[in-house]
Amino acid sequence: MNANDPRELLIEVLSGIAPETDPATVDPTEDLRDELDLDSMDELNMITRVSGRLGIDIPEKDYPLMRTLDGAVDYLTGRMAAPAP
């Protein structure tokens, strides 16, 4: 996995949370909670794992931006490109 590719990281993390799901079938514009049948704890685990792996803080107010695969990729790409405060 390329550590700088947020899509690959998200797929890896989601595969660990919902191992029965084929990432190739996930609609990148649909809510991941519905697509993968994630509950709120699964969503929090995904965000926590991604945050830890990338070494960035994801504030709770930004969680809705992480609800779709495309949205999460866009959000993470922007956070990774932003200079540290």
Question: Is 1 a member of any domain?
Answer: no
Position 63 in a domain: yes
Which range marks the domain in which residue 71 is found?
6-81
Please report whether residue 76 resides in a domain.
yes
Query: Can you give the pTM of this predicted structure?
Result: 0.87
How many independent structural domains does the chain possess?
1
Domain with residue 27: its CATH number is: 1.10.1200.10
Q: Which two tokens stand for residue 9?
A: 């990281």
pLDDT tens digits for range 43-55 = 999 999 999 999 9
Which burial class, exposed, middle or buried, applies to 72 when counting CB atoms under 10 A from its CB (0-12, 13-18, 19+)?
buried
Chain center to CA of 78: 13
Contact indicator for 17, 42 with CB cutoff of 8 Å: yes
Within a domain: 29: yes
Alpha-carbon Rg for the chain, nearest whole angstrom, is: 12
Domain contains 50: yes
Mean pLDDT by 10 residues, the chain (85 residues): 78 93 88 93 96 94 97 95 69
